[in-house]
Copies of this chain bind each other. A is one copy, B any other.
Amino acid sequence: MDYLATNLKFDSNGLIPVITQDYKTNEVLMLAYMNKEAYEKTIETKKVHYWSRSRSKLWLKGETSGHYQYVKSICVDCDNDTLLIKVEQVDAACHTGHYTCFYRDVNADGSVKENAEEVKPVGDKSAIL
């Protein structure tokens, strides 16, 4: 039985939040959303697909940038309403070019500062693409 297809809890917009994490370092890369189709495409292709809320369309991560996310493992939380996907990230998860979208620390005074340690060099993607 496909437990998830019948038990995953999508919200009132038909979406479920997805945390994407580097499978080697456990660094959190981004949070985005899937609808049922994006989930099924991810399972089928082993490349992470999301639902783009800003463009209202299915979004194969890396389709235009080449920055694909290859699925290594998927976990579901206790309430069946959040997914955690460990991936092999090509180059950078963030549209700014940073490896992770969480490249800014919040200081005690509420200001934010770029965390240089989070920025990783862009690798050679020729081996993967």
Residue positions of A touching B, CB distance < 8 A: 1-5, 17, 19, 21, 25-28, 30-31, 43, 73-79, 82-84, 94-96, 98, 101-106, 109-112, 115
CB distance from A68 to the nearest CB of B (A): 19
Task: List 27 A-B pairs, Cβ < 8 Å.
Answer: A1-B111, A2-B111, A3-B110, A3-B111, A4-B106, A4-B110, A4-B112, A17-B17, A17-B31, A19-B31, A21-B26, A21-B28, A26-B27, A28-B28, A30-B77, A73-B105, A73-B106, A75-B102, A75-B103, A76-B112, A77-B101, A77-B104, A78-B96, A78-B104, A79-B101, A82-B101, A83-B106
> Taking the full assembly, how many copies of this chain does it contain?
2
